[in-house]
Structure 1
Amino acid sequence: MFDSIAVTLDGGFDCELPPMVGVKQEFTRKKIVDINEKIRAELATFPAPERLKGQELAITVGSRGISGLIPVLLETISFLKLHGAIPFIVPSMGSHGAASAEGQLKILASYGISEETMGVEIRSSMDVIEVAQMADGVPLYLDRIACEADGIILINKIKPHADFKGKVESGLSKMLCIGLGNHLGASSLHRYGFGNFHTVIPEAASRLLHKITVPFAIGLIENAYDELMDIQVVEQQDILEAEPLYLEKAKQNIATILFPEIDVLIIQEIGKNISGEGMDPNVTGRPGSGVGGFTGPKISTTLVLDLTEKTHGNGVGIGMADVTTLPLVKQLDLNAMYTNAATAGTLATAKIPMVMKNDREAVVFALKTGPIHSIQDAKIMWIKNTLELDYIMVSPALAKTVEGIKNVSIITEPVEFAFDNEGCLLPWPLPTH
């Protein structure tokens, strides 16, 4: 790996950067106040719970960060045990965690999910069995351990997908046919291409649901502040009909960038716990799949500075940036990133963009190579990540437009960009949520 980068840039890297002001974007904030009480109330609607007695039930947990997942899991486990069931957790992540059982356990542990905290076994394996077939004969695989149980409890966040648009995107159906398919099952279905996923996911889920037992599923919906706003317990026969309704609710409550045009977008961090593509294309408008239907502001140059700790070096999505930094590149776990991108068939997401020596040089490079005549007049936005968009930083050129944008207000005086002696941008200066 190269240790330094020296780029010849017109005028060099010594230039004055415009000050930045803190801005607050406000979104609808309906949220569940007591998650434990809400999930208990939802589970209480499950009919004839005595039928669970003596059943060994696999509970799915994916690789995404989900607000309130711990209490949801604990209450579900308690409910199942109360009615005589024998629950256990099975990682349901497709190829994440470098497509290894150990890697997936590590991801769960990073979210505080372990046998000690949950009080049940976690059974992790990449082994699968063929359960059904698509209409064209393509096999549908599911985790062997989950299939050997008496039933599967699907739990997942329902949200817009990062690579395709349809009536069913990320959620219960995708957890079933992609997440529970482990590496082989996920790879097999991704060969259809994201352009066909709007029909592939519903068909695959339907065929699998006719072959397995799902006593109930739990759909989780978050608001724009990464907080649980709704929990829905749904029986097996209602999953396919209910999920599009939950997705529509999720789409109406995601955080977005409310500014229409940006010269340079600085993203402090990306990661798999933020989005399947590291930075959410539903925010940036840049899907790695190339599939249409995504909207976002007009952005000339996107710059990414860091990876989240919880992504464990999987920098998938970095390919959607134009510029990044050497410290970020040195953090990359290419095995995990390439495995993830290869499984999904979105190789562009794992491409490494132009690499600068440090944060300061990356910011200057992005400004000096964009369609910008005056750096002081550049429309610059700095966000923590694409999941937390209520507090952002903008340059004076964008601050001038705030009055014309609904639900946006300036909250700080102008402050200068601050870098340490190594050229690293100092920590995020605004609150998070």
Structure 2
Amino acid sequence: MGFPKWRRVRQHFEGPVVEDIPARVEAELRRVLAVADAPQREPGGERGLAQPCVWPGMRVAITAGSRGIANIPLILQSVVRTLKQLGAEPFIVPAMGSHGGATAEGQREVLESLGVTEAFCEAPIRSSMDVVQIGTTPQGMPVFMDAYAAAADGVVVVGRVKLHTDFKSPIGIESGLMKMMAIGLGKHRQALEIHAYGVPGIRDHMPEVAKVVLASGKVLCGLAILENAFEQTAHIEAVEPARIPEREPELLRLSAAWMPKLPVDDADLLIVDEIGKNYSGTGMDTNIIGRIRIHGVPEPERPRIQYIFARDLSEASHGNALGIGLADLTTRRLLEKIDFQKMNEQALCSCSQQLGFVRVKPPQFQSCWPKFVDEA
């Protein structure tokens, strides 16, 4: 049979890069937290959404998610060092919903696989699946918070702002600080509450849950991270609690402008070398591949790809291959790496069962290549 001719194509993307991450993190946190005329309060006192402040001995929880964010160990280390300079006693809490098999040890392992360790970040990691209820949304949904974070004097919410892979928000709240406060800090219990409603849960209820977290007065600030098309740190910005709901949509638009995309809208075959939770919550970014495969969610109009072939699963995923259902074919190598308990736990929790479907698995790529060419 004849094979088509090949031509190498190079894409060019533009986007800024933060050159000195520790300096930027410190400058941003000091801009928001180290305010000379900030209204003081006694430890344990009510602050609500007033100007945040840090006092000597203040116990501050720092959120750490499960995504493979560029430079996240260095960013968290810089947050820890800055808070210590301000007199606080910081510690890190895993904020990742049901990830890590929905266990405390599993979530600690996820952080360690990302390079987020106590030794490097210079702060203890306090991992637990225990939560406390801190309120209720106007719609009647209970709001939970990680027990360690709830017992702290304040929380610094660290998270990447980007387009979500499951839905498009009419208010511009997708994957970012609001989601970190709602599902990340709410752990498995809150994830179950929100995902029980399917896509409307995360699209409509998640922002309301985050607002209750903000109203609790626990959040000192958010530290938003944006990346460019090369997965480099492009922007770091500290945001006051009261401004997070209005600022996050603006940051989302900026993040979307810097995202990579395929060079064509129509393709016969897309070969994905590696999928994984460190790349996207759905293993591979649905905004780039043009597939969502979630009940009730319309598929993107473009790009239009006939076949997607997923070759391997990242080690950082710890066996969670959720998103394999977006591919048409895969390999035995990938299948042997899957921890079905972890993947199924998250698939059921997030009502994304289709993303866990395993499709055709040829013994080797060469065996399916003629089929691709014939049908193209």
Q: Give TM-score scaled by structure 1 length.
A: 0.79
- Please say if 1:319 is aligned against 2:306: no
- State the AA in 1 paired with 2:29: L
**Contact 2:74–2:121 (CA under 8 A) maintained in structure 1:** no
Task: Select the structure of larger CA radius of gyration.
Answer: 1
CA separation of 1:310 and 1:363: change in aligned 2, threshold 3 A: farther
Q: Structure 1 unaligned runs (5+)?
A: 1-14, 373-433
Deviation at 1:240, TM superposition (A): 1.0
Deviation at 1:68, TM superposition (A): 2.0
CA separation of 1:146 and 1:365: change in aligned 2, threshold 3 A: farther
Q: 2:116 — aligned with what? A: 113
CA distance in 1, matches of 2:100, 2:111: 10
Deviation at 1:249, TM superposition (A): 0.5
Residues 234-262 of structure 1 show CA distances to partners (whole Å, capped at 9, x for unaligned) of 11111111111111111111001120110
Q: Structure 2 unaligned runs (5+)?
A: 37-52
Q: What SS does the aligned partner of 2:274 have?
A: strand
2:35 is aligned, of 28, 48, 53, to 48
- State the AA in 1 paired with 2:315: E
Q: What SS does the aligned partner of 1:153 have?
A: strand
Q: 2:48 — aligned with what? A: none
CA separation of 1:340 and 1:77: change in aligned 2, threshold 3 A: same
2:250 is aligned, of 234, 239, 245, to 245
CA distance in 2, matches of 1:84, 1:228: 27
- State the AA in 1 paired with 2:294: S
2:173 is aligned, of 168, 172, 175, to 168
**Contact 1:52–1:80 (CA under 8 A) maintained in structure 2:** no
CA distance in 2, matches of 1:151, 1:95: 23
Deviation at 1:324, TM superposition (A): 1.1
CA distance in 1, matches of 2:139, 2:31: 38
CA distance in 2, matches of 1:201, 1:181: 11
- Please say if 1:188 is aligned against 2:174: no
CA distance in 1, matches of 2:299, 2:252: 15
Residues 207-251 of structure 1 show CA distances to partners (whole Å, capped at 9, x for unaligned) of 221124111110000011101111110111111111111111111
- Please say if 1:95 is aligned against 2:95: no
Deviation at 1:359, TM superposition (A): 2.6
- State the AA in 2 paired with 1:190: H
Deviates more, 1:121-130 or 1:65-74: 65-74
1:261 is aligned, of 262, 266, 270, to 266
CA distance in 2, matches of 1:38, 1:364: 52
CA distance in 2, matches of 1:192, 1:361: 42
Which residues of 2 match residues 145-160 of structure 1 at below 5 A? 145-160=148-163
**Contact 1:303–1:366 (CA under 8 A) maintained in structure 2:** no
Q: 2:312 — aligned with what? A: 306
Residues 275-301 of structure 1 show CA distances to partners (whole Å, capped at 9, x for unaligned) of 000011000111132423745311111
**Contact 2:153–2:218 (CA under 8 A) maintained in structure 1:** yes
CA distance in 2, matches of 1:130, 1:294: 37
Q: 1:235 — aligned with what? A: 240
**Contact 1:288–1:317 (CA under 8 A) maintained in structure 2:** no
Q: What SS does the aligned partner of 1:307 have?
A: coil
Residues 385-405 of structure 1 show CA distances to partners (whole Å, capped at 9, x for unaligned) of xxxxxxxxxxxxxxxxxxxxx
Residues 307-349 of structure 1 show CA distances to partners (whole Å, capped at 9, x for unaligned) of 1111111110000111112221111110111111111111100
Deviation at 1:16, TM superposition (A): 5.9
Which residues of 2 match residues 319-358 of structure 1 at below 5 A? 319-358=325-364
- Please say if 1:86 is aligned against 2:101: no
- State the AA in 2 paired with 1:185: Q
CA separation of 1:323 and 1:230: change in aligned 2, threshold 3 A: same
CA distance in 1, matches of 2:125, 2:272: 35
Which residues of 2 match residues 281-296 of structure 1 at below 5 A? 281-290=286-295, 291-292=297-298, 294-296=300-302
CA distance in 2, matches of 1:52, 1:366: 63
**Contact 2:213–2:219 (CA under 8 A) maintained in structure 1:** no
- State the AA in 2 paired with 1:273: N
- State the AA in 2 paired with 1:234: V
Deviation at 1:90, TM superposition (A): 0.3
Which residues of 2 match residues 6-17 of structure 1 at below 5 A? 17=3
Deviates more, 1:318-327 or 1:193-202: 193-202
CA distance in 1, matches of 2:113, 2:250: 31
- State the AA in 2 paired with 1:316: L
**Contact 2:173–2:207 (CA under 8 A) maintained in structure 1:** yes
CA distance in 1, matches of 2:306, 2:70: 32
2:9 is aligned, of 23, 26, 41, to 23
CA separation of 1:119 and 1:203: change in aligned 2, threshold 3 A: same
- State the AA in 2 paired with 1:61: A
Deviation at 1:147, TM superposition (A): 0.6
- Please say if 1:137 is aligned against 2:143: no
Q: What SS does the aligned partner of 1:241 have?
A: helix
- State the AA in 2 paired with 1:312: H
Q: What SS does the aligned partner of 1:25 have?
A: coil
Between the aligned residues of both structures, percent identity stands at: 36
CA separation of 1:273 and 1:17: change in aligned 2, threshold 3 A: farther
CA distance in 1, matches of 2:238, 2:18: 15
CA distance in 1, matches of 2:256, 2:164: 10
Highest RCO, 1 vs 2 (Cα 8 Å, sep ≥ 6): 1
CA separation of 1:104 and 1:136: change in aligned 2, threshold 3 A: same
Deviates more, 1:48-57 or 1:222-231: 48-57
Deviation at 1:76, TM superposition (A): 1.0
Q: 1:38 — aligned with what? A: 24
**Contact 1:190–1:343 (CA under 8 A) maintained in structure 2:** yes
